[in-house]
Amino acid sequence: MSNFFKNTDISKNIADEIVSETLNSCDDGELYLEDSKAESILLDDNKIKSSSYATDLGFGFRAISGEVVAYSHSNEISKDSLKKSSDNLKATLKSINGTYNHSIPKTNKKFYEDINPIEQKDLNSKIEILNNVNNYIRSKNPNTKQVTASFSGEQKSIEIIRAGGETLNDVRPLIRFNVSVMLEKNGRKESGVYGIGGRQSYDTYLKDNNWKNVCDEALRIASVNLESKPAPAGEMPVVLGPGWPAILIHEAIGHGLEGDFNRKKTSAFHNLMGEKVASEGVTIVDDGTIDNRRGSLTIDDEGTPTEKTVLIENGILKNYMQDRLNARLMNTKSTGSGRRESYKHVVLPRMRNTMMLSGKNTQDEMISSVKKGIFAVSFGGGQVDITSGKFVFNCTEAYEIVNGKIGSPIKGATLIGDGPSILRKVSMVGNDMMLDPGIGTCGKAGQGVPVGVAQPSILIDQMTVGGTQL
């Protein structure tokens, strides 16, 4: 846990006084202090291409009146810097006359350990693993053209000071291990990518040579893609596999259920609270309380304990994801979804681990019910329009379904549709819910934050598939 005032000319008590005086007539706000350490190590083309280590220390000071947010940040924690920020906030909110709301629920529950994963494994050991990855993949498949492998790790210590001296703390570890493989056969090149991560130490994921499992999966995906044929195009049933395909739910549906878009009436879901928005059996939650998961938080970036928020229950829209600002303006409560990329950024309502819960069907039942369609196992990039919910996603691993059986792998398939319509076309929900491997990062308003997704296999009765007509 960082002592943010140890080597400064300001004490914690003086900081408390400045915060309380600044926010005295505001509706909300806080002083957010952050100390982050981050590393990145990259192997590419048979050698270590880069290795970096960075630290950052600073604060963000926020005052809110009505819908107006005044924000000031600095990478210098000092009495002068904090006073200047205070003056800037008060100048921005000259006519404020709100009543400061400081009430935040307390929690003793933590969902990860107070560790620094960067320091728990030395640099030479990490480099050794990356070199072993390169050698292992090249020895296992003679068609290997390129291997890229990387480690990234971080520890972020935060402290939130609210009016009245209320202080909340959190220490957040995060790691990611990623492997990309390019194979070449008969002049054709195809890639496979796989990674793992979460809020634990490197060794938790890589002990007993578990890194080989990541290599094997990246090789498998690349090998499948080498044998793929052009994807069909048109309207057809689509079976989505469990786990990572929930990125479609995250992008096409999850963002539309964030509080700010609904308060401003720019989401396709803004006027549908309490109404049926999905097929029976579709339940979607956003859960920040799963131990050690990439999207989990003990407290959000406003100090609110995270929770499991039911968004859609058996097809009925139940809740939006809320930070304190949007919750207050919508006469509801924060769901612990207030997040920021760093002390330089304002808080926004964001997803954590967004999941569709299991149903009763098996994946085999779904596949066997489809005469002609596709089975999408994994996605790459995509585009989404929050207002309409329209999306386009590229499949990185997919197969044709012919007469109820999985056929050849296909390449170039894109799934096209809109979130609200797709939810109503789900006809089967699988009993095989699976979490993603821990690699997700979500971008919104220029801010990236770590997130997770999960889902069972699902059957969508009709969906537009873009590809090459067979």
Instruction: Please say if the pLDDT value at position 325 is more than 90.
Output: yes
Q: Does residue 160 have a pLDDT over 70?
A: yes
Identity of the residue numbered 110: K
How wide is the angle at C-alpha 129 spanned by C-alphas 125 and 131, nearest 5°? Answer: 115
Q: What is the pLDDT of residue 388?
A: 83
Q: What is the bridge-based pairing of β-strands 284-287 and 452-455?
A: unpaired
pLDDT over threshold 80, residue 298: yes
Q: What is the mean pLDDT of residues 414-423?
A: 92
Residue 163: per-residue pLDDT: 92
Q: How far apart are CA 229 and CA 382, in angstroms?
A: 21
Percent of the chain whose pLDDT exceeds 90: 88
Using 50, 70 and 90 to split pLDDT, how confident is the model at 384?
Answer: confident
pLDDT, tens digit, for every residue of 339-368? 999 999 999 999 999 999 999 999 999 999
User: Quick check: 469 pLDDT over 70?
Assistant: no
Which spans in 319-444 are helix H? Answer: 324-329, 363-368, 419-424
Q: How confident is the model at residue 99 (pLDDT cuts 50, 70, 90)?
A: low
- Report whether pLDDT(97) > 70: no
Q: How far is CA 192 from CA 30, 37, 55, 144, 386, in A?
A: 44, 30, 32, 11, 29
Residue 470's pLDDT is what?
Answer: 39
The number of angstroms, rounded, from the C-alpha of 374 to the middle of its chain's C-alpha atoms is 26
Q: What is the mean pLDDT of the chain?
A: 94
Say how many CA atoms lie within 13 Å of 190 toward its Cβ.
22
pTM: 0.94
Query: What pLDDT, on the 0 to 100 scale, is given for residue 114?
Result: 95
All residues at 6 or more sequence positions from 215 whose CB lies less than 8 Å from its CB, including other chains: 133, 136, 137, 140, 179, 181
Structure confidence at residue 281 (pLDDT): 95
The residues, ordered by sequence, that sit 6+ positions from 64 with a Cβ below 8 Å of its Cβ are 26, 27, 28, 29, 70, 325
